[in-house]
Copies of this chain bind each other. A is one copy, B any other.
């Protein structure tokens, strides 16, 4: 049987993490094409050498510096295709969409995913933009073309969320999901409580460690968590909500005094994203909540993420794990690829 052909759209942190895993684990796929805004683009119908690609990128070179072996592909290797040209011409079975996230327009990722699905390719993505804004539309398009559209990495990186719900809660109804969906804000709140730092000092440290961007707005104002709440609502609860439908409050107004007073009461502030179905209506929000220490979410330290599923048959089940990372998010793409290959 011919190996499954894979194309990577975007080859930044996540794409390189995925390539590393494919290489280290000898995953049985044929990477036929990679196209990246910054690193250029390369295609070989016989399959690219993943180790050679990793070496090139490690040396600071680009994908366009890649050359096939003389025995390979009879000269059908091609360089320079942009992402849409790659989708059009690469003949992959599965496309891994890992281009940059735009939470306002969800472009160009949405157009890439649409083009791939229309070509009859399965798509896996870790991109919150198209998933938060266009999940229903893309999911229907996948169905219409008889292919899968999988999104494990969009919430909590590789920590199981959608696979957990689909594969291990089958038969349960999920009534509510709530959790810690942003590692940066969790780190800041934890440092304020554990080290007695001000919000500003904790944010500065998070920026030094690379957890927070120079402009931390998307994290600290809850915009990143909100995109994930929209995804969870639309994918797990069958809602059709948009980001603007969800009330949002970040952590930038939480003071050290707030955190210390909560601790005195045996409580702890966490930035909680939640969504539930009540009388057929979705009630979703992102806001800092003071939780009793008996709540499993209060035990989530550092930059970790966690999600509590409230189900009819099992009650509450909480999963905690990494919420970001090159290999962790690369794994989320791998697990989707394996799901497609084994279906």
Contacts and interface: CB of A to CB of B under 8 A. Distances in A.
Contacts of A158: 313-314
Contacts of A216: none
A321 B317 contact: yes
Contacts of A64: none
A328 B299 contact: no
Interface in A160-219: 160, 163-164, 167-172
Given A314-B328, A321-B316, A335 B170 contact: yes
Contacts of A294: 301
B317 A320 contact: yes
B25 A171 contact: yes
A160 B317 contact: yes
A163 to B, nearest CB: 4
A109 interface: no
Between A21, A169, A171, A293, the greatest number of chain B beta carbons within 10 A of the residue's beta carbon is seen for A171
Interface residues of A, number: 40
A296 interface: yes
A111 to B, nearest CB: 29
A339 interface: yes
A42 interface: no
Contact of A171 (B159, B293, B315, B338): B338
A171 B331 contact: yes
A327 B172 CA distance: 11
A169 B319 CA distance: 13
B171 A163 contact: no
A22 B316 CA distance: 21
A289 interface: no
B321 A320 contact: no
